[in-house]
Amino acid sequence: MSLVTQVLRSEWTKIKSVRSTVWTLGLALVVTVGLGALISAFTKSNFKDLSTEDRLAFDPTFTSFAGMGLGQLAMIVFGVLVVSNEYSTGMIRTSLAAVPQRGIFLFSKIAVATLLVFVVGMITSFVAFFVGQAMLGSHRADLGDPGVLRAVIGGGLYMTLIAMFSMGVATMLRSPMLSLGILMPFFFLISAILGNVSATEKVGQYFPDQAGQKVMQVVTFNDDKPYGPWGGFAIMVVWVVAALIGAYVVLRKRDA
């Protein structure tokens, strides 16, 4: 059995043996679907009160993803825990002694976690869409409508990239508290503020979450962003790649 195969199996065992990581993924699914369903139901009951402009901008697909904001919180926590659990327990020394090739160690961990998140993210995105559209009733969109399938698949990819970015940051910082202390304000305060203030929105629109969410949108009424759905997705990929490269460089140069 090759070294890579052995490391992959080891990383899978680590992930499934830590209950907090498994429960975090389950929470991401429940929160995303549940909140999306509630917002969709609320939107349906108040649709007649919307202004003409709001009706033109109404995106039934994106409405069903209203819970994605809290769902991504769970994905961030998952990404941090997958990496930092070993640092907080001191097991990282044992792991690196067993696998001194740090590139293989790091990217095997990220590969296993990413595959798991991808599966959960896709299930979450599709379930959120179908449940949300059921709540919207006559205002619903169909999976075969232009751009809808792309948006639903994009939702799963978005959740996957959020977790990968968090893994990269957590590898560089090593501390779960420090990682969460930076990632939470970054996504839920800094990005939101910069993206919604006229003086800074041109900067905020290039942040990973602001750009990445574009792939989940179908209706683009009054949207003046300089990129399309896959352009925004590409910007998010660049952020993730930068975080992973930084993680690899730091892990190679630093003692456990």
Q: What is the mean pLDDT of residues 30-49?
A: 93
Structure confidence by residue, pLDDT tens digits, 60-87: 999 999 999 899 999 999 999 998 888 8
Alpha carbon of residue 158 to chain centroid: 5
Q: What is the mean pLDDT of residues 13-18?
A: 82
Structure confidence by residue, pLDDT tens digits, 145-185: 999 999 999 999 999 999 999 999 999 998 889 999 999 99
Nearest residue to 61 (alpha-carbon basis) of 135, 152, 127: 152
Structure confidence by residue, pLDDT tens digits, 86-114: 887 778 888 888 888 888 889 999 999 99
- pLDDT band (50, 70, 90) for residue 128: very high
Distance (Å) of CA 236 to CA 31, 77, 165, 208, 227 = 23, 18, 9, 5, 12
